[in-house]
Structure 1
Amino acid sequence: MTDPLDEPLEHRRAHRRRTGGWMLAVGLVALFVSTFAVPEALVHLARASAEGAALGARGAATTAVGAVTLLGGGALAVLGFNWRRSAGEAPHPEDLLDDEQFGDDPLRPFDPDRFRGPGHRDPDARD
């Protein structure tokens, strides 16, 4: 088995994006399942507490499935989204050449007066 640090950087980024994508997809599916399991679990829990009886097998199963899918799906969705976002693409070589030639500053400085129409005066100007 090869050491992951021996792989080129772009391969590691692609692997991280794929892994994050799968985590996000599984998390979203689990959250979708929880939209059906959690309300049913709440109904079973309310009936069991109102009647003072023990929770049935279906109630216990839907409570467990609802809790696991809600908490686990939410955690997987957040982690997967952050993994994908943190493994952004490498800067394009043309962008690096532009940065070398022109620096990191904007090529044209921002001028807010450019957007003022005719007849509009500067709100910061004093009379």
Structure 2
Amino acid sequence: MPEPTEQQRARRRRTGGWMLAVGVVALFVSTFTVPEAIHDLARVSAGQDAGLTTRGVVVTVVGAATLLGGGALAILGFNWRRSAGEGPHPEDLLLDEQFGDAPVRPYDPDELRRRPGRPALGDERDDRP
């Protein structure tokens, strides 16, 4: 898969940003509509009213849509924006071209276990009397 261009990355970041912003606004709206919808549904299920009013139906539908849709948009927008990432810096590409992509030193996990002035873990001898 070819590396995306900087224009594609910028477009993806912008789109993800708009998705995140719309999702957060929808979640904010849901903080007003969901409690009212729960109250209307509880009143109807308790038998206090004959049925949901038009306002109750609208608030219930809008509350569910903003809560679920806003949450999904916020999560997708955040991940979309984060996955766009930055492209490799030209200096990094030049260094990779000049020195190669391999690490400078091979990784040695035992190096972190050694202490200055003490032998490595496998080389310890018991010199105590």
TM range (shorter): 0.7 to 0.9
Per the normalisation by structure 2, the TM-score is 0.73
2:91 aligns with one of 85, 94, 102: 94
Matched, 1:46 2:48: no
- The alpha carbon displacement at 1:96 in A equals 0.8
Runs of 5+ consecutive residues of structure 2 not aligned to the other structure: 125-129
1:82 aligns with one of 79, 97, 120: 79
Partner of 1:3: none
Q: Distance in 1 between matches of 2:33 and 2:79?
A: 26
**What is the root-mean-square deviation of aligned Cα atoms in Å?**
2.9
Per the normalisation by structure 1, the TM-score is 0.74
1:53-68 equivalence runs, <5 A: 53-68=50-65
CA pair 91-48 structure 1, distance change in 2 beyond 3 A: same
Partner of 1:106: 103
SS of residue paired to 1:62: helix
2:8 aligns with one of 12, 15, 18: 12
Indicate the structure (1 or 2) with the bigger Cα radius of gyration. Answer: 2
Partner of 1:36: 32
Aligned sequence identity (%): 70
Runs of 5+ consecutive residues of structure 1 not aligned to the other structure: 1-7
How many pairs does the alignment contain?
Answer: 118
